[in-house]
Amino acid sequence: MNTNQNKAVEFEDLGIKEYQPAWDYQEQLMKNIIDTKIKNRDLPAEQHSITPNHLLFVEHPHVYTLGKSGHEENMLAGIDKLKEIEATFVKVNRGGDITYHGYGQVVGYPILDLENFFTDIHLYMRNLEEVIIRTIAEYGIKGERSPGETGVWLDVGKPYARKMCAMGVKASRWVTLHGFALNVNTDMRYFEYIIPCGIKDKQVTSLKRELERELTPEEMEELKAKIRKHFADVFQSELIYK
């Protein structure tokens, strides 16, 4: 356990950014943290450098991503259809199956050294879910966990259960990568070209669909502020704005 825990989290909103450059940026931040941890191993505790933590927000142009344990048959659109709908397809090194990212989504990538918090991936995932559950509760929406199915769901156990927020995470040396995708003003037609997360009998939804109205740009910024607040509360951290 890190005896020099740092619970400050540097926040950065990347705006609209293609998936691959955002992924590369995440991996560089992760590498920097891991490099620091490796150097610390050869030093006495009093000389250890603190490891930073990061939280990135981003909005991706249309892209489908497939986790390393996923199944390509859950991608229903071929190359021609992807071109037609102006979407790309990327294989990634996170857990989970296939998911969609696109305009109108709030995508959050926490790159945390969990030794600054707790060394428990299961708890980390439940905490991420809790952040979103608390956030959408402010809009009168009851988010829930679905046993064995990561993410935030509505009406769990009912025939019309649906997922509002997908999650996929990788960790190396207790440093996290990837994160969550909350559907807000998302064009839900893009989910018709995949079997989301490989789950055939469940639907997906968005804040727009549940509220029956689109969030304005100002309301989108307010939503992001709510996510940041709940993230800081749940992880007992302080967000530092870059």
pLDDT at 45: 84
Q: Known binder of ligand: residue 168?
A: yes
Query: Is residue 143's pLDDT more than 80?
Result: yes
Q: Known binder of ligand: residue 216?
A: no
Q: What 3-state class would DSSP assign to 137?
A: helix
Report the percentage of the chain scoring pLDDT > 70: 95
Q: Known binder of ligand: residue 187?
A: no
pLDDT at 3: 56
User: Is 197 in the active site?
Assistant: yes
Residue of 131, 133, 197, 215 with catalytic role: 197
pLDDT at 22: 95
Q: Known binder of ligand: residue 137?
A: no
pLDDT digits (tens, 9 = 90+) for 46-73: 888 999 999 999 999 999 988 776 777 7
Q: Known binder of ligand: residue 78?
A: no
Which has the higher per-residue pLDDT, 194 or 21?
A: 21
pLDDT at 1: 46
pTM assigned to the model: 0.91
Query: Is residue 232's pLDDT more than 60?
Result: yes
Q: Known binder of ligand: residue 102?
A: no
Query: Is residue 193's pLDDT more than 70?
Result: yes
Query: Is residue 181's pLDDT more than 70?
Result: yes
Long-range contacts (CB closer than 8 Å, 24 or more residues apart) made by 70-76? 70/96, 70/97, 70/98, 70/198, 71/97, 71/98, 71/198, 74/98, 74/194, 74/195, 74/198, 75/193, 75/194, 76/192, 76/193, 76/194, 76/195
